[in-house]
Amino acid sequence: MNWQQVCEHPSLKDMPFRIELNETGQIIMSPVSIMHSLYSSKIGNMLTSFLKKGSTLSESAIRTRKGTKVADVAWVSPERLKIIRHESDASVAPEICVGVLSESDTDSEMKIKRQLYFENGALEVWICDQNGCMRFYNADRELETSELVPDFPKMIEI
């Protein structure tokens, strides 16, 4: 199955799960809690307030060498948005990709996702844990704070 088929499949349209594809086209579903949604929404709103140019995306599908992965929140510049605007899954990752951890997420899975997003052009990947603690990464290392949004808080209060 490819991402376009997933997007068009009538029984997958309103699932209460985050859906991704692995490298063989199998569907991977993860349940999403209300807290997950709250953190995602708050991070998206904060990104919009900090970065006036560009667009904040929710549930952004990104094509990778290991299938289509979904960033819970992303920020994309106007230039990059011109490239991906009409794609079902982005051929180039947004500049900032954010993962909000669910109980089912593992450290090894998130490390792989970070690597895949960086391979596809992300400049930073942020991880929000289940307590709202933020971690920021560039392609080389974990950062003390975001280099793209230095004033972004290290803790998200809900």
**At 23, is the pLDDT very low, low, confident or very high (cuts 50, 70, 90)?**
confident
Fold of 32-143: tt1808, chain A (3.90.1570)
Residue 103: what pLDDT? 80
What is the pLDDT at residue 138? 98
Give the start-to-end residue ranges of the domains of the chain.
32-143
pLDDT digits (tens, 9 = 90+) for 44-56: 999 999 999 999 9
Per-residue pLDDT, 12: 64
Q: Which residue has the tokens 């003390």?
A: 144
Task: Tell me what the mean pLDDT of segment 21-29 comes to.
Answer: 70
Mean per-residue pLDDT, 6-20? 64
CA distance 48 to 55: 7
Phi/psi at 2 (nearest 5 deg)? Answer: -110, 175
Residue 22: per-residue pLDDT: 73
Measure Cα distances from 129 to 35, 59, 140, 151 in Å. 11, 17, 21, 19
Q: Which residue has the higher pLDDT, 105 or 70?
A: 70
- Among residues 134, 86, 130, the alpha carbon closest in space to that of 106 is found at 130
Q: In this predicted structure, which of 23-27, 134-138, 141-145 has the lowest mean pLDDT? A: 23-27
Confidence at residue 75, expressed as pLDDT on a 0 to 100 scale: 98
Can you tell me whether residue 41 is helix, strand or coil? helix
| Cβ pair 43, 35 in contact under 8 A | no
